[in-house]
Amino acid sequence: MLCSSQIPFFVFVTKLRTVFSTPYIACFHAPAWEQKRDCLLHFQISYFSSVTDYFMSNFTIAALYKFVELPDYEAMREPLQAFCEQHNVKGTLLLALEGINGTIAGPREGIDAVLAYLRNDPRLATLEHKESWSEDREPFHRMRVRLKKEIVTMGQPNVNGQNAGTYVKPEDWNDLISDPDVVLIDTRNDYEVDIGTFKGAVNPETVTFREFPQWVQEQAQEGGLLDKNRKKKVAMFCTGGIRCEKSTAYMKSLGYDEVYHLEGGILKYLETIPQPQSLWEGECFVFDERVSVGHGLVPGQYVQCRACRHPLTEEDRASVHYVRGESCPHCWDKITEEQRARFRERQRQVDLAEQRHEGHIGAKMDEQIRKRREEKLAQKEKSRQMANEIDQQKSE
């Protein structure tokens, strides 16, 4: 008989927090039906508490962009900033005459509210976004809606992102890039490519996206990778797709006809394609506190140097040049003592805030990032000049 005190009573419970890991079984040997009922009630309460905790402790991340004319983009800024803050959404959104671009994170209901707010504008009604999640780490520390000349800076004002190349869905991407007549180009920057890319992809070794047009022009010369006489197809990819919208549009403006790009970017590919069938190698750098993600958009193994923002491996962190919050093997010889002292103080404040269980957004890094880029550009320019001098000497 079901209510017999001698029959074990099994309740199978799968916590939502571990929905993708092994479920566990709670076994109760209740002596009477009343106690079984109480046991059920206890698990019902515990289960729904787990569900509530799960949604309250997790952050929904939405990456979005759309090329569309927004002549009133300046007037859009303050209302959008206020709406995001009102719904506890953080991140960065860029507004420009050519459209909107950015990544935001927050509670599920907050993200849904902001997306609905944006799509209420008829010009953004078809705005698409890609989602991922962060369980135990807030992806962003503040909300910023910024006004820009371009939503992705290429320095080519006449290039219209709405005139992009041919989209290729993740399911068809492997076939395209396995074609020997296809030149596969990673349009991201060097520090992003360092930790992962598609098998066989060309790395332009750019510091910023502004350098990409110059690289294309160099490779378009006779004998170059993009020499039109070779009649090669060109396939491009980037993190979420926006840089490829512009890069393929730029290629088309130069007269290239067969130009393709990965729809939804690397993130959509990693979300869609199972790892055994994937041609992706490594992890994908993302511009938030997760630093990197792998297949299934699972957060990766990298952390970020707070001085130069370069992603760091365990080996990097074991280096004598790595000091948490101050330097890493990629920047230890480039930062000044003044900067080092500033970074050290900032890290001290971060540690104190963690001890008090308080948030600390840290110092703004825009200036440091700008200086790092300038230094890299200067080094590259110096190398080019030296190469030109050597060529001139040989010709003489």
Q: If we measure between CA atoms, which residue out of 56, 55, 109, 120 comes closest to residue 87?
A: 109
E strands in 157-294: 166-168, 182-186, 196-198, 233-237, 259-262, 280-282, 284-285, 292-293
Amino acid at site 143: M
Q: Containing H/E element for 22?
A: none
C-alpha 114/C-alpha 64 separation (Å) is: 12
C-alpha 171/C-alpha 292 separation (Å) is: 22
Q: What is the DSSP letter of 162?
A: G
How many CA atoms does the CB half-sphere of 58 hold within 13 Å? 18
Is 284 marked active-site? no
Structure tokens at 272: 């869609």
Query: Beta strands 24-28 and 9-13: pairing type?
Result: antiparallel
Evaluated on CA atoms 82, 87, 93, 96, the torsion sign reads negative
Q: Which of 84, 238, 284, 331 is catalytic?
A: 238
Instruction: Output the CA–CA distances (angstroms, integers) from residue 104 to 87, 94, 118, 132, 209, in the order listed.
Output: 12, 11, 13, 11, 22
Evaluated on CA atoms 304, 306, 310, 316, the torsion sign reads negative
Q: If we measure between CA atoms, which residue out of 126, 114, 131 comes closest to residue 76?
A: 114
C-alpha 372/C-alpha 331 separation (Å) is: 9
Residue found under tokens 């935001």: 104
Structure tokens at 137: 């780490």
Q: If we measure between CA atoms, which residue out of 203, 205, 204, 210 comes closest to residue 281?
A: 203
Structure tokens at 304: 């970020």
CB 39 within 8 A of CB 11: yes
Q: If we measure between CA atoms, which residue out of 131, 155, 166 comes closest to residue 245?
A: 166
C-alpha 149/C-alpha 95 separation (Å) is: 8
- Catalytic positions, written as ranges: 238
